[in-house]
């Protein structure tokens, strides 16, 4: 059974956090980790670029976290 690491990135447009996940994927894989990135299902290029880099990418509705009283 492999170990899994989930990256939750709240931006659908490729940027720093996505690049970090892309660069970490090979190292984590070599150590036996399966990396999964979860991004919002909104228009953007992040999913395409992550998948092109071999990163398993899931898209789902991600709302903003808000403090509640």
DSSP 29-42: HHTTEEEEEEEESS
Model pLDDT, residue 18: 98
8 Å CB contact between 51 and 21: no
- Coil vs helix vs strand at 53: coil
Closest CA to 25 of 9, 40, 6: 6
Closest CA to 60 of 3, 12, 19, 4: 12
Q: What is the pLDDT of residues 13-64, one digit of tens each?
A: 999 999 999 999 999 999 999 999 999 999 999 999 999 999 999 999 987 7
8 Å CB contact between 38 and 7: yes
| 1 confidence band (pLDDT: 50, 70, 90) | low
């Amino acid at each position: 059974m492999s170990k899994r690491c989930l990256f939750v990135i709240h931006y659908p447009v490729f940027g720093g956090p996505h690049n970090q996940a892309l660069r970490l994927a090979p190292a984590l894989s070599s150590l036996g980790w399966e990396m999964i990135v979860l991004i919002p299902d909104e228009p953007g290029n992040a999913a395409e670029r992550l998948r092109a880099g071999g990163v398993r990418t899931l898209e789902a509705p991600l709302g903003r976290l808000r403090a509640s009283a």
